[in-house]
Structure 1
């Protein structure tokens, strides 16, 4: 179990791959078979992000439970906005607000994540 909690490398790798896959899927043709497959793979990465994030949350939330809780909530909201962009664009509905919320939640999640004791020391 220490592979999940010793460092944040696995968690960071999963969300970086997920964001890249999301951007590729978002700019593909709406009804292509490749986008459908990519969306399914992306949903697998959502689960991996939540699992690795949850293990880090459980292992390290004793440091500052409120900040870890806020980061967990922002992470789930980021994943929700990613899904909303893909689903609503497939249905040809407006997605501008969801793109803006995705960027906002992603930046807020990264800022808090890097600020936490087990995060990278950028700030």
Structure 2
């Protein structure tokens, strides 16, 4: 079961990155309607990523207890949730044509810490 959650989780991360870039490009090119659709699909993938990540976390706790691997897992979960918030902030700022340097920097920082 862990391998299934892992495969879904890894795939959702790859899809998230592609959708984030696509939505940012659509918003910056003023294709708002299609960008909003891609943004909604991105939010759906956030849910898939969270469910698969929680499934892996609960299986890890059941199998091995609260060892150092599980604490690392919890730290990555917190960073992933923060990354989702910064991604949303970045896309909204691009959509409203505001400055997004801070959001972009935070997003790059969170991605680098997660991987």
Shorter-chain TM-score category? 0.7 to 0.9
What TM-score do you get using the length of structure 2 for normalisation? 0.85
Question: Which moved further from structure 2: 33-42 or 54-63?
Answer: 54-63
More helix by share: 2
Partner residue in 1 for 2:78: 73
Counterparts of 1:79-94 in structure 2, within 5 Å, are 79-94=84-99
Q: What is the TM-score when the length of structure 1 is the normalising length?
A: 0.80
CA RMSD after TM alignment: 1.4
Unaligned runs of 5+ in 2: none
2:35 counterpart residue number:
35
Is 1:17 the counterpart of 2:15 in the alignment? yes
d(CA) in 1 for partners of 2:44, 2:71: 28
> 1:99 pairs with 94, 99, 104, which one?
104
If asked which structure has higher relative contact order (CA below 8 Å, sep 6+), I would say 2
Aligned partners of 2:32 and 2:95 also within 8 Å: no
- What SS does structure 2 have at the residue aligned with 1:93? coil
